[in-house]
Amino acid sequence: MLQINWAELFPTRSSVVIFAAYVGFFTNQGILVRWTQASDNSYPYNTVTVVLLTDFLKLIITSALFCKDHPIKSLFTEVFRNLRVCSLYLVPAFLYSLYNNIAFLSLSAFDPTTYYLLLQLRVALTGIIYQVIFKKKLSSTQWLSLLLLTIGCMIKETDFNNITNLFGGLAGKGSSFILLVFQMSCSCLAGVYNEYLLKKESPTANIFIQNVFMYLNSIICNLVMVVLHEPLSQTFSSESLSAVLVPSVVILMLNNAGGGITTSFFLRNLNSIMKTFTGAIELTCSALLCYFLFGIPIYVNTVISIVIVSYATILYSQNPVSREDVSNKQKFDTEMAHPLIDRESKVTTV
């Protein structure tokens, strides 16, 4: 009989709320993106402008949440006092920006079906990178669940009407495949390294300050990437801003900002392996919601995918990655009550 290890899956009550919020935000993301598309599935707004404005929105929200319990002056004090920790967040921010930009090259090299099919390999890649960074070996059951999760996600992207040419898009594209693997590595490494910073590098840091570090670096990296492609005057032109500042797109940006901030709480209280399974849960929720809201049919491959993913999730839930030695509840209570604690002095004067 299947027995789920709830205590290891959700160490605290807050982790259950964080898990539910994370799934909710990212399920909504797919629905909201669909809502903002035109009838021909194009975007009637500059997506680059949306990405940058969302980063600014994340920075404003997380700064406001910190200042709710601390003087505004302490926000700037903490940033300048901990520039070393802030600089470390340049790594995941740069990797995420690199991932987003390489995606355009990969999509131009592969047809969409092949691209999204191969992209599911990042599930297993996350497990490999997690083991290396955290020096924690995954069990055979955990690896089996990740393998089944990868297969389930790949089946979701499989076109059974063209099964004979399933990997035809790979022919003669060895260098493009290597680039795609590098792209996936950027995303997986960024996520796991972000978790490492939250848990290992500065575990007693106020999480809102760490979010400030992340979004400051993200804005810098994205601005650099944008300048390499188009002038900023075009990105923030009155035409671009007027197309973005409509209710549906504003709701999309607010949802993405909420999802981004929730991600940091997720990685602090749970882990990157658990995060891969939430992605599969979002896949199921999105498929069902799109069917009821937009009439998008659910095909046989989607049903098979949901069954495999569900079993993989149950299998993992019986033997999840163990929680950290430090109590997550203690860390959560500390970060909500205190500003960033210096690693050397153990106390910060505000």
State how far the Cα of 266 lies from the Cα of 151, in Å rounded to an integer.
25
Task: Return contacts of 264-267, CB within 8 angstroms, 24+ apart.
Answer: 264/194, 264/198, 264/207, 264/210, 264/211, 264/214, 265/18, 265/207, 266/18, 266/19, 266/22, 267/191, 267/194, 267/195, 267/198, 267/199
Q: Global pTM?
A: 0.80
Ranking 63-67, 185-189, 229-233, 339-343 by mean pLDDT, the lowest is 339-343
Q: Could you give the C-alpha distances from 28 to 115, 122, 147, 155, in angstroms and in order?
A: 23, 22, 26, 22
Q: Is the pLDDT of residue 94 over 50?
A: yes
In the chain, pLDDT over 90 holds for what percent of residues?
33
Ranking 137-146, 182-191, 211-220, 288-297 by mean pLDDT, the lowest is 288-297
Q: Render pLDDT for 153-211 as a digit per residue (tens, 0 to 9).
A: 888 777 666 655 555 555 666 788 889 899 999 989 999 999 999 888 777 778 999 99
Which of residues 302 and 58 earns the better pLDDT score? 58
Which of residues 332 and 200 earns the better pLDDT score? 200
| Burial status of residue 10 (CB atoms within 10 A of its CB: 0-12, 13-18, 19 or more) | buried
Token pair 């095909």 in the structure block, residue: 299
Judge contact between 212 and 63, C-beta under 8 A.
yes
Q: Render pLDDT for 312-323 as a digit per residue (tens, 0 to 9).
A: 988 888 888 875
Q: Is the pLDDT of residue 51 over 80?
A: yes
Ranking 59-68, 72-81, 112-121, 178-187 by mean pLDDT, the lowest is 112-121
Q: What is the predicted pLDDT for the residue at 344?
A: 36
Q: Is the pLDDT of residue 350 over 70?
A: no
Question: Mean pLDDT, the chain, as a whole number?
Answer: 82
Token reading at 112: 């969409």
Rg (CA), the chain: 21
Domain ranges of the chain: 17-338
Q: What is the predicted pLDDT for the residue at 164?
A: 53
Q: What is the predicted pLDDT for the residue at 4?
A: 73
Alpha helices in 197-327 (DSSP H): 207-229, 232-235, 238-244, 247-269, 272-294, 300-318
